Amino acid sequence: RENQSPPDPTKKTLVILGSGWGSVSLLKTINTSNYNVVVVSPRNFFLFTPLLPSCTTGTIEHRSIMEPIRGIIRNKESDVTYYEAEATKIDYENRVVTIRDHSTEDSKDERQLKFDYLVVGVGAMNSTFGIPGVQDHACFLKEIPDAQKIRKKIMDCIESASFKNLDDADRKRLLHTVVVGGGPTGVEFAAELQDFFEEDLKKWIPGIAKDFKVTLVEALPNVLPSFSKQLIDYTERQFKAEKISVLTKTMVKKVTEDTIIAEATRPDGSKETLEMPYGLLVWATGNTVRPVIRDLMANLEAQKNSRRGLLVNEYLVVEGTEGVWALGDCTATKYAPTAQVAAQQGSYLGGLFNQLARAEDLEQEVRALEAKASQTAEGSAERKSILSEIESRSRRLRRSKSLLPFEYSHQGSLAYVGSDKAVADLTLWAEGNFASGGRLTYMFWRSAYLSMCFSMRNKILVLTDWVKVKVFGRDVSRE
């Protein structure tokens, strides 16, 4: 599972971990002919996560938002090696990454990769806060298999609920979906599921209509905490109109195979324990650090006080290291863990590596010219011309070495809230924000995400999926 061209001994080896927003954006920008580039990721494709919630109900087919890593590296300036593997250990002292084959679940095939430069873009895992039962009974929504599992489970619950002689309480339980976490993932999933019910399920399986229910549970006083107040209110009103029940100030404490136990804070400050029977539970309470990153942090003195992820400096160099960079959700920075941030960090690092390569080339040229000058006669015309050449290249070298720190430019936040409506907090000018919600915003949401899809192929597939759903409805078969 690798391109077999041997590494060029004259070039530095750059190992990139991950094939997500950060790493792929770096791959797009970097001139790979300057390095021996090796990409390691257990996922052999890039995933356009903003449209993942739509895959849970079949609004979009999952392959439409996947782009094979092989296709991405094939078009680069020179060969890039790819390993479908997971990094299990980063040994900074010896500059070695241990990677484990990921082609089969029980594979133990490990190998070690030496690196000169390392970029860590492994993203994050779903957080459960150690709440009992979550890991065993909840579905998450981060990767394609998660979306497929949810899609299947929705139909499982509905078909089981339609089975004759089921008692009333059991039928209601199976038709109750609870979404925990009122951040954008939870909100978008709840919206997609309610759309599926209103537009398709109700027509195809009318027997479930009176008991189908979606509940969104959020520990804070409101959903979408990172959006502006006006859009939070709009979303909560919109959910009420769509009959999605929203329980705020409600913290889930425990999960069993069919019930959620939560603690709600009443307006007078008193606490109430709620028990919610469920058929499907989707857990969307944000991110936590992956084991490989936790291990690296434990082995670097400068990282010992970090909890949320790798600390990096303004050039994205991992604190306490040289020649190791990190980007995206595996880092702890002042920015939110979003695709927007990871993608900008990736293209920044791509530019930085191109600049480093230019500086190294110039350094070699200056050294060669200096050696040549030392062999020419003092005061000769040839020597004068070489010295002026050295001067001009040294100036370019100084410019190449003066690196600018990473600067994030926030373009805004978008979220789908159901019934062909979306909310958008946009940054239109340096200090100004523009907030909008509704159908027009939804048209904007669609066109923005369509234009951001990785390739023309992705764009056409996504557009076709939208048209298909408009014409035929979503597919309710269980596979």
Q: At its nearest, how many Å lie between ligand FAD and the CB of residue 173?
A: 26
Which of ligand NAD, ligand FAD, none is residue 215 near (CB under 5 to 8 Å by kind)?
A: none
Which of ligand NAD, ligand FAD, none is residue 342 near (CB under 5 to 8 Å by kind)?
A: ligand FAD
Give the three-class secondary structure for 82. Answer: strand
- Exposed (0-12), middle (13-18) or buried (19+): which is 144, by Cβ within 10 Å? middle
Distance CA 456, CA 462 (A): 10
Which of ligand FAD, ligand NAD, none is residue 17 near (CB under 5 to 8 Å by kind)?
A: ligand FAD
Q: Which is nearer to ligand FAD, 44 or 419 (CB)?
A: 44
Q: Which is nearer to ligand NAD, 54 or 458 (CB)?
A: 54
Of 42, 133, 320, 418, which one interacts with ligand FAD (CB under 6 A)? Answer: 42
Q: Does 123 bind ligand NAD (CB under 6 A)?
A: no
Q: Which is nearer to ligand FAD, 18 or 320 (CB)?
A: 18
- 371-390 residues in contact with ligand FAD (CB under 6 A) are none
Of 38, 65, 139, 219, which one interacts with ligand NAD (CB under 6 A)? Answer: 219
Q: Does 218 bind ligand NAD (CB under 6 A)?
A: yes
Q: Does 285 bind ligand NAD (CB under 6 A)?
A: yes
Distance CA 330, CA 190 (A): 26
Distance CA 193, CA 151 (A): 10
Q: Does 252 bind ligand NAD (CB under 6 A)?
A: yes
List 281's β-bridge partners, or say none. Answer: 178
Distance CA 29, CA 155 (A): 42
List 37's β-bridge partners, or say none. Answer: 14, 80
Residue 110 sits at φ, ψ, to 5 deg, of -115, 150
**CB-based burial, 174-195: b 16+ in 10 Å, e otherwise:** bbbbbbbbbbbbbbbbbbbbbb
Q: Strand 213-217 and strand 244-247: pairing? A: parallel
Q: Does 125 bind ligand NAD (CB under 6 A)?
A: no
HSE (CB half, 13 Å, CA atoms) of 353? Answer: 33
Which of ligand NAD, ligand FAD, none is residue 20 near (CB under 5 to 8 Å by kind)?
A: ligand FAD
Contact map string, positions 49 to 88, toward ligand FAD, x by CB under 6 A: xx-xx--------------------------------xx-
Q: At its nearest, how many Å lie between ligand FAD and the CB of residue 296?
A: 11
Q: At its nearest, how many Å lie between ligand NAD and the CB of residue 101?
A: 29
Token pair of 426, please? 């946009």
Q: Which is nearer to ligand NAD, 384 or 439 (CB)?
A: 439
Contact map string, positions 93 to 132, toward ligand FAD, x by CB under 6 A: ----------------------------xxx---------
**CB-based burial, 64-99: b 16+ in 10 Å, e otherwise:** bbbbebeebbeeeeebbbbbbbbbebbebeebbbbb
Quickly count helices (H) and strands (E) in the chain.
14, 21
Q: Which is nearer to ligand FAD, 45 or 197 (CB)?
A: 45
Residues with Cβ within 8 Å of residue 165, at least 6 apart in sequence: none
- Exposed (0-12), middle (13-18) or buried (19+): which is 11, by Cβ within 10 Å? middle
Taking CB atoms, the residue at the shortest distance from ligand NAD is: 183
HSE (CB half, 13 Å, CA atoms) of 111? Answer: 8
Which of ligand FAD, ligand NAD, none is residue 290 near (CB under 5 to 8 Å by kind)?
A: ligand FAD
Q: Does 155 bind ligand NAD (CB under 6 A)?
A: no
Size of the site for ligand FAD (CB under 6 A): 33
Dihedral angle of Cα 40, 306, 223, 143, to the nearest 10 degrees: 10
Q: Does 186 bind ligand FAD (CB under 6 A)?
A: no
User: What one-character-per-residue DSSP string does 254-309 give?
Assistant: EE-SSEEEEEEEPTTS-EEEEEEE-SEEEE---EE--HHHHHHHHT-GGGTT-SSS
The whole-angstrom distance between residue 91's C-alpha and the CA centroid of its chain comes to 25
Q: At its nearest, how many Å lie between ligand NAD and the CB of residue 395?
A: 43
Contact map string, positions 334 to 373, toward ligand FAD, x by CB under 6 A: ---xxxx-x-------------------------------
Which of ligand FAD, ligand NAD, none is residue 183 near (CB under 5 to 8 Å by kind)?
A: ligand NAD
List of residues contacting ligand FAD (CB under 6 A)? 17-23, 40-43, 49-50, 52-53, 86-87, 121-123, 141-142, 185, 290, 292, 328-330, 337-340, 342
List of residues contacting ligand NAD (CB under 6 A)? 50, 129, 131, 180-186, 188, 217-220, 225-226, 251-252, 284-287, 336-338, 413-415
